[in-house]
C-alpha cells in the first residue's frame, strides 16, 4: 500500500454492530476483565481509539509498533527515560526543540543522567559520544534554522556502538522522511503539528520496533501521558488527509521560499529545498520532500511591524496547521537564551519562522510582499 492509502485505511476499526465505516469512539474508562484476553483501560494505552491511530503512525513510519501520547513532550520524555537512567550519558543536539532541551538541562540531573549537547554536524554528534552513552537524540530539519542533520551517518555509528537513537520527526512528518529506513531506532512526533494538522489538538506519537516499544509502553503506563479516545478520533480523522496536506504544503513552501529568495527586502532564506542551502545535498539523500517550514531574515526592518502588516499569515507559536503561521524565534522559542548566544547560532532579531499552510501560494506571496512594502515606507 502507498502512503495515501495507508493514511486513510490503516488502523480503522470498522463498526461490526452497524457496518459504519469509521472507528467508533469508545468512551468507556471501565472494561470487562473476566470475559476478555486483554483488559482495556485508557492509561494502558490500549483502547480501540488509541490502537487505531497507533497502527496508522506505525504503518506511515514503516515501524512494527506505534503509540499515541497526550503531547509531543509526553512521547519524547517517556522515550528518553525508557532507555537512559542513573549513570548513563545522553547526547543531544543543541538545536533540539526548546522543551526537549529544557527537559535535559532542568531534569536529567534529577534522574542521574549526564548529557552533552552537540552541534548539528554528524562529526560533532559522534565526538560527543562517551563509553557511557546510551541514547542519542536528534532532530532534522532543526528549529528554527532548518539545518539538516546527517541521519544515516549518526544512525550507522550508533548502531555499531549499541546506542539507542531517537529522532524528533515533527518538522518533516512521515510524508517527507521515514528515519527508521535510515537506521534510526525510535521516531517521536509532536502530533500537535502536522499529524493533527488543524491547530486544534495536542498529542504525541512514537514509532519503533516491538522490542523497543515494550520498554516505552511499560514506562508510559506508569507515567500516564495517555490520550483520550475522543481526541484520538480527531487525530485519526486528521491523519487521513496527512499525505495530501503535507504534500501540498511542501509544494507551497518551495514556491514561497523561491519568492523570498529573490525578494529585494529579504536578507536570507533558510529552506533545505533551495539548491544553494547548506543542507540541500544531505536532505536530498534522506528526505522525499523538503517540508513546509522555512525561516528568513528581513533586511533592516522592524520584524514586528512586518508581522502586523500581514493579513493572511497569522502570528502564532505553533506550526503545521492548514493555516500559515509566523513567529519570531528570538521573542518566542528562544526568548530565554542570552542574546549573544542567539546571535552566535544565527537566531537574529530579524529572523522569522514561517509554517506554510494550505492556502493558495499566490495569495501567500502577495501577503508577504504587501507587508514588506508597508514596512519600507
Ligand X SMILES: *Cc1c(COP(=O)(O)O)cnc(C)c1O
Residues that bind ligand X (CB under 6 A): 71-73, 97, 99, 139, 143, 168, 170-171, 190, 192-193, 202, 204
CA of 246: how far to CAs of 8, 58, 175, 250, in Å? 14, 18, 7, 6
Ramachandran area for residue 346 (φ above 0: left; ψ -120 to 50: alpha; else beta): left
Q: Residue 335: CB partners within 8 Å, gap ≥ 6? A: none
Taking the complex as a whole, the smallest distance from the CB of residue 221 to ligand X amounts, in Å, to 19
Taking the complex as a whole, the smallest distance from the CB of residue 333 to ligand X amounts, in Å, to 9
Reported as type and span, the H/E element at residue 30 is none
Please give the grid coordinates belonging to residue 340.
549573544
Please give the grid coordinates belonging to residue 174.
512521515
Which entry of 4, 31, 41, 43 is annotated as an active-site residue?
43
Taking the complex as a whole, the smallest distance from the CB of residue 188 to ligand X amounts, in Å, to 8
Is 33 noted as a catalytic residue in this protein?
no
**Residue 337's CB: how many other CB atoms inside 10 A?**
17
Nearer of residues 170 and 176 to ligand X, judged by Cβ: 170
Which entry of 10, 55, 193, 245 is annotated as an active-site residue?
193
Nearer of residues 190 and 249 to ligand X, judged by Cβ: 190
Q: Which residue is nearest to ligand X (CB)?
A: 72
User: Helix, strand or coil for residue 36?
Assistant: coil
Which entry of 150, 168, 185, 367 is annotated as an active-site residue?
168
Which entry of 10, 56, 97, 134 is annotated as an active-site residue?
97
Nearer of residues 69 and 233 to ligand X, judged by Cβ: 69
User: Helix, strand or coil for residue 295?
Assistant: strand
Nearer of residues 97 and 270 to ligand X, judged by Cβ: 97
Q: Residue 147: CB partners within 8 Å, gap ≥ 6? A: 95, 120, 140, 141, 278, 279
Is 168 noted as a catalytic residue in this protein?
yes
Is 114 noted as a catalytic residue in this protein?
no
Is 43 noted as a catalytic residue in this protein?
yes
Nearer of residues 72 and 179 to ligand X, judged by Cβ: 72
Do 234 and 2 contact (CB within 8 A), yes or no? no
Taking the complex as a whole, the smallest distance from the CB of residue 309 to ligand X amounts, in Å, to 26
Cα–Cα dist 222/81, whole Å: 12
Do 287 and 272 contact (CB within 8 A), yes or no? yes
Enumerate the active-site residues.
43, 97, 168, 193
Amino acid at each position: 500500500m502507498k502512503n495515501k492509502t495507508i493514511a486513510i485505511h490503516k488502523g480503522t476499526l470498522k463498526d461490526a454492530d452497524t457496518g459504519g465505516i469509521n472507528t467508533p469512539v469508545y468512551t468507556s474508562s471501565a472494561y470487562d476483565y473476566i470475559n476478555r484476553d486483554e483488559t482495556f483501560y485508557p492509561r494502558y494505552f490500549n483502547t480501540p481509539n488509541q490502537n487505531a491511530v497507533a497502527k496508522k503512525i506505525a504503518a506511515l513510519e514503516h515501524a512494527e509498533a506505534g503509540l499515541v501520547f497526550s503531547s509531543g513532550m509526553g512521547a519524547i520524555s517517556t522515550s528518553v527515560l525508557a532507555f537512559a537512567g542513573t549513570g548513563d550519558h545522553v547526547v543531544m543536539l543543541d538545536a533540539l526543540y526548546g522543551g526537549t532541551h529544557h527537559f535535559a538541562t532542568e531534569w536529567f540531573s534529577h534522574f542521574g543522567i549526564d548529557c552533552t549537547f552537540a552541534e548539528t554536524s554528524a562529526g560533532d554528534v559522534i565526538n560527543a559520544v562517551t563509553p557511557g552513552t546510551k541514547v542519542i537524540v536528534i532532530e532534522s530539519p532543526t528549529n528554527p534554522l532548518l539545518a539538516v542533520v546527517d541521519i544515516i551517518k549518526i544512525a550507522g555509528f550508533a548502531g555499531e556502538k549499541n546506542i539507542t537513537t531517537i529522532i524528533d520527526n515533527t518538522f518533516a512528518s512521515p510524508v517527507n522522511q521515514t528515519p527508521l529506513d535510515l537506521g534510526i531506532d525510535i521516531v517521536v512526533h509532536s502530533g500537535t503539528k502536522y499529524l493533527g494538522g488543524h491547530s486544534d489538538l495536542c498529542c504525541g506519537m512514537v514509532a519503533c520496533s516491538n522490542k523497543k516499544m515494550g520498554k516505552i509502553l511499560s514506562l508510559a503506563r506508569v507515567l500516564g501521558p495517555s490520550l483520550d479516545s475522543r481526541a484520538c478520533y480527531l487525530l485519526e480523522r486528521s491523519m487521513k488527509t496527512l499525505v495530501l496536506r503535507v504534500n501540498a504544503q511542501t509544494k507551497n513552501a518551495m514556491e514561497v521560499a523561491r519568492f523570498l529568495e529573490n525578494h529585494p527586502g529579504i536578507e536570507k532564506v533558510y529552506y533545505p529545498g533551495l539548491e544553494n542551502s547548506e543542507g540541500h545535498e544531505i536532505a536530498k539523500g534522506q528526505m522525499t520532500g523538503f517540508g513546509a517550514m522555512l525561516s528568513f531574515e528581513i533586511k533592516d526592518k522592524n520584524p514586528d511591524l512586518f508581522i502586523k502588516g500581514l493579513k493572511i499569515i497569522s502570528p502564532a507559536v505553533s506550526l503545521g496547521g492548514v493555516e500559515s503561521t509566523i513567529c519570531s524565534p528570538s521573542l518566542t522559542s528562544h526568548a530565554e537564551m542570552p542574546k549573544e548566544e542567539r546571535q552566535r547560532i544565527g537566531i537574529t532579531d530579524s529572523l522569522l519562522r514561517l509554517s506554510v499552510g494550505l492556502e493558495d501560494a499566490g495569495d501567500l506571496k502577495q501577503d508577504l510582499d504587501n507587508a514588506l512594502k508597508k514596512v519600507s515606507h
